[in-house]
């Protein structure tokens, strides 16, 4: 886990070897496998980065989860995002999130970036990302390819400072989303592959 200036805050390999083991063991955050990693942290409002990688430069599919562990505190996760390599079939990029804590509907946005990542010095980016938002039943609630193709959603994204840098990138704006579990799926149009970034915003 890194702070807003990039400094390392905490790290873990094998949760039972963590000094925080007593805070993890027996809770819902205890992993099923001893080789998996957990970090517990109390953080002031800011932007943070969690980096997941394999020991010994090994590769494979991994899952990063972020939980608000004290919902009585007057703070919210405002934005979560994940960067990864998008393949095809079961190896597309999946960003899951839960809207909850109360019964009030939420304004939210999701974005899928690919070609504009070239500006960050990345190569082999996803040239034309597509984006789908699924509910807990797996039903597609809304989908998008080229964020400006939906003028209403595009206007709301722009009004909230979330206009995408490239017309080939995808964006979704939804108002009054009910509490529940959702999944944002990023794929490449026509089977394209490459590095992409999925972002999910809580706009309240």
Instruction: Please list the rounded mean pLDDT of every run of 10 residues in the chain (204 residues).
Output: 93 94 92 94 89 91 83 74 93 89 81 93 93 94 96 96 97 86 95 96 84
pTM over 0.85, yes/no: no
Q: Give the largest CA-CA distance in the chain.
A: 51
C-beta separation of 93 from 198 below 8 A: yes
Q: What values do phi and psi take at 16, rounded to 5?
A: -70, -20
What token pair was written down for 28?
């819902």
pLDDT at site 101: 64
Percent of the residues in the chain that have a pLDDT greater than 70, as a whole number:
96
pLDDT at site 158: 97
pLDDT at site 126: 97
Can you point out the beta strands (E) in the chain? 79-86, 93-99, 106-113, 129-134, 140-145, 170-177, 180-188, 194-202
CA distances, 144 to each of 3, 34, 97, 130, 189 (Å): 32, 39, 18, 6, 11
The tens digit of pLDDT for each residue in 101-152 reads: 667 778 899 999 999 999 888 889 999 999 999 999 999 999 999 999 999 9
pLDDT at site 100: 75
- 68 secondary structure, DSSP code: -
pLDDT at site 74: 66
Q: Give the helix ranges, DSSP H, for the chain.
A: 21-24, 151-159
């Amino acid at each position: 886990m890194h702070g807003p200036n990039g400094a390392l805050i905490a790290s873990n390999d094998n949760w039972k070897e963590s000094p925080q083991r007593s805070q993890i063991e027996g809770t819902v955050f205890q992993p099923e496998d001893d080789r998996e990693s957990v970090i517990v942290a109390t953080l002031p409002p800011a932007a943070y980065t969690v980096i997941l990688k394999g020991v010994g430069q090994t590769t494979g599919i991994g899952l990063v989860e972020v939980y608000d562990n004290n919902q009585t505190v007057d703070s919210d996760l405002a934005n979560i995002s994940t960067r990864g390599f998008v393949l095809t079939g079961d190896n597309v990029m999946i960003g899951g999130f839960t809207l909850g804590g109360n019964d009030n509907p939420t304004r939210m946005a999701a974005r899928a970036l690919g070609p504009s990542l070239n500006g960050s010095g990345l190569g082999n980016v996803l040239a034309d990302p597509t984006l789908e938002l699924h509910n807990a039943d797996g039903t597609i609630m809304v989908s998008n390819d080229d964020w400006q193709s939906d003028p209403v959603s595009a206007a709301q994204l722009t009004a909230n400072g979330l206009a995408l840098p490239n017309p080939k990138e995808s964006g979704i704006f939804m108002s009054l989303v009910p509490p529940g579990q959702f999944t944002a799926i990023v794929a490449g149009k026509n089977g394209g592959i490459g590095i992409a970034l999925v972002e999910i915003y809580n706009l309240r």
